């Protein structure tokens, strides 16, 4: 399986993402510049964390208009897995590929620490290797992770099982309904504030994030099984 | 030329963490009269004299300057008379 890691000016988790795929998942991965326009050679798209375009105006607001984003939208429409982590999630929100918006953290502080998440559904191509209700430890690192959406959107997301991860116990940023990650209705675009790519080996403090990437790979292999 | 003043704030009903902190500070300074603080952004655009400026400003606000999911915007357009 071949992954693309999109690099914007100000991305700073692109290398972590690259190595999570190359060294821990053991699949092919390339960096793709924000100025490129073609993702047809890739099976999966990863939008990494960071501060694209300095987070000026709003996080993700300027990155959303990068040339590569047209190709990201096409990849999403064609059903390829698209994962946005942290700033990547913010970009997906600004693009409208996921519902809602991000506000500054409730306590106005940049939070950087491990968090406990509950896996709310394993009926997704990103979480099939987790148990429903399983608690996992994945680190966060953000100043604007206070997820917000209107009541109608929240109800619709609940109805369609679109809330994939929730913070357990302490909600670090004030996000609505303790939301840490959401998926689109079609089930192939996931955005999450915690960083699974920073939790792919016990050397890093947790390997709970690795199964997210393994789930993507499993789904891809099942779709591309060679029948003899 | 026009000078356009754009104001962007969080929608009413969306909790504003910065506004809340500033209100707390004002209260601790004994300004108990303050009931609410909403913090927003102010942008000044200098634009060329063209047709339908307003429609274009509206488009800019919707697509980039504000995020309609949680923000609302308003603007004032002033014509700048050449010296």
Q: Tell me the domains of chain A and their CATH numbers.
A: 2-223 (3.40.50.880)
Q: What is the pLDDT of residue B49?
A: 77
Backbone angles phi, psi at A27, to 5 degrees: -115, 175
Catalytic pick from A86, A94, A120, A149?
A86
Q: Is A224 a catalytic residue?
A: no
| Mutation site for B-interface testing, chosen from A57, A107, A154 by largest number of B Cβ within 10 Å | A57
Q: Which residues pair with A159 in a beta bridge?
A: none
Q: What is the pLDDT of residue B83?
A: 62
Is the confidence at residue A5, as pLDDT, over 80?
Answer: yes
**Which one is predicted more confidently, A132 or A225?**
A132
Please give the biggest Cα pair distance in chain B.
Answer: 50
Query: Domain range spanning residue B9?
Result: 2-79
Is the confidence at residue A62, as pLDDT, over 90?
Answer: yes
Of B15, B65, B67, the CB nearest to A101: B67
Q: What is the pLDDT of residue A225?
A: 79
Give DSSP secondary structure letters for A9-52: TTB-SHHHHHHIIIIII--EEEEEETT----TT-SEEEE--B-G
Average pLDDT over residues A180-208: 97
Is the confidence at residue A226, as pLDDT, over 80?
Answer: no
Give DSSP secondary structure letters for A81-110: -EEEETHHHHHHHHHTSSS-EEE--TTSS-
Taking the C-alpha atoms of residue B4 and residue B24, their distance in angstroms, rounded to an integer, is 33
Say whether A101 and B17 touch across the interface (CB within 8 A): no
Asked if B74 contacts B7 with a C-beta cutoff of 8 angstroms, the reply is yes
**Which one is predicted more confidently, A153 or B83?**
A153
- Which pLDDT band holds residue A188 (cuts at 50, 70, 90)? very high
| Mutation site for B-interface testing, chosen from A62, A63, A64, A101 by largest number of B Cβ within 10 Å | A101
Q: Which residues pair with A74 in a beta bridge?
A: none
Q: Is A195 a catalytic residue?
A: yes
Taking the C-alpha atoms of residue A172 and residue A151, their distance in angstroms, rounded to an integer, is 21
Q: Is A13 a catalytic residue?
A: no
Catalytic pick from A53, A142, A195, A219?
A195
In 3D space, the residue among A219, A195, A178 whose CA is nearest the CA of residue A47 turns out to be: A195
Average pLDDT over residues A199-210: 96
Taking the C-alpha atoms of residue A212 and residue A203, their distance in angstroms, rounded to an integer, is 18
Dump pLDDT digits (tens) for A132-178: 999 999 999 999 999 999 999 999 999 999 999 999 999 999 999 99
Taking the C-alpha atoms of residue A20 and residue A66, their distance in angstroms, rounded to an integer, is 25
Taking the C-alpha atoms of residue A225 and residue A218, their distance in angstroms, rounded to an integer, is 10
Residues of A in contact with B16 (CB under 8 A): 103
Counted domains in chain B: 1
Dump pLDDT digits (tens) for B25-73: 999 999 999 999 999 999 999 998 778 999 999 999 999 999 999 999 9
Dump pLDDT digits (tens) for A72-84: 999 999 999 999 9
Burial of B20 (0-12, 13-18, 19+ CB in 10 A): middle
Nearest-CA distance A101 → chain B (Å): 6
Q: Please name the residues between 24 and 83 in chain A that touch chain B, using a CB distance below 8 Å.
A: 57-58, 61-62, 65
Helix (H, G, I), strand (E, B) or coil at B56: helix
Return the CATH number at B29. Answer: 3.30.1280.10
Taking the C-alpha atoms of residue A107 and residue B13, their distance in angstroms, rounded to an integer, is 18
Is the confidence at residue B13, as pLDDT, over 90?
Answer: no
Q: What is the pLDDT of residue B50?
A: 79
Say whether A104 and B70 touch across the interface (CB within 8 A): no
- Which pLDDT band holds residue A227 (cuts at 50, 70, 90)? low
Tokens 């918006």 appear where?
A: A101
ipTM of predicted assembly, 2 dp: 0.84
Tokens 């980039």 appear where?
A: B64
Asked if A25 contacts A210 with a C-beta cutoff of 8 angstroms, the reply is yes
Q: What is the pLDDT of residue A228?
A: 52
Taking the C-alpha atoms of residue A145 and residue A161, their distance in angstroms, rounded to an integer, is 21
Q: What is the pLDDT of residue A130?
A: 98
Dump pLDDT digits (tens) for A104-118: 999 999 999 999 999
Average pLDDT over residues A184-190: 98
Mean of pLDDT over chain A: 96
Say whether B69 and A61 touch across the interface (CB within 8 A): no
| Mutation site for A-interface testing, chosen from B21, B59, B67, B68 by largest number of A Cβ within 10 Å | B67
């Amino acid at each position: 399986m071949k992954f693309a890691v999109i690099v914007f000016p100000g991305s700073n988790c692109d290398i972590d993402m690259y190595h999570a795929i190359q060294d821990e998942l053991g699949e092919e991965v390339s960096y793709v510049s924000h100025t490129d326009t073609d993702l047809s050679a890739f099976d999966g798209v990863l939008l990494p964390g960071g501060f694209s375009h300095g987070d000026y105006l709003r996080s993700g607001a300027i990155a959303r208009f990068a040339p590569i984003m047209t190709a990201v939208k096409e990849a999403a429409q064609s059903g390829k897995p698209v994962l946005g982590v942290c700033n990547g999630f913010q970009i997906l929100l600004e693009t409208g590929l996921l519902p809602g918006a991000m506000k500054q953290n409730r306590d106005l502080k940049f939070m950087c620490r491990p968090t406990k998440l509950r896996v709310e559904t394993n009926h997704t191509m990103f979480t099939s290797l987790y148990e429903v209700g399983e608690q996992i430890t994945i680190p966060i690192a953000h100043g604007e992770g206070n997820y917000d959406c209107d009541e109608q959107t929240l109800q619709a997301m609940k109805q369609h099982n679109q809330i994939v991860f929730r913070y357990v116990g302490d909600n670090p940023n004030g996000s609505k309904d303790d939301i840490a990650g959401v998926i689109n209705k079609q089930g192939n675009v996931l955005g999450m504030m915690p960083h699974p790519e920073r939790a792919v080996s016990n050397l890093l403090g947790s390997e709970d994030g690795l199964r997210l990437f393994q789930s993507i790979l499993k789904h891809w292999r099942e779709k591309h099984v060679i029948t003899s | 030329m026009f000078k356009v003043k754009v104001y962007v704030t969080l929608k009413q009903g969306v909790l504003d963490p910065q506004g809340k902190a500033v209100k707390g500070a004002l209260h601790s300074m004994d300004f108990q009269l303050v009931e609410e603080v909403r913090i927003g952004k102010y942008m000044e655009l200098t634009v060329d004299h063209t047709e339908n400026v307003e429609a274009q400003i509206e488009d800019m606000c919707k697509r980039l300057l504000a995020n309609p999911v949680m923000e609302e915007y308003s603007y004032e357009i002033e014509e700048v008379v050449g010296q």
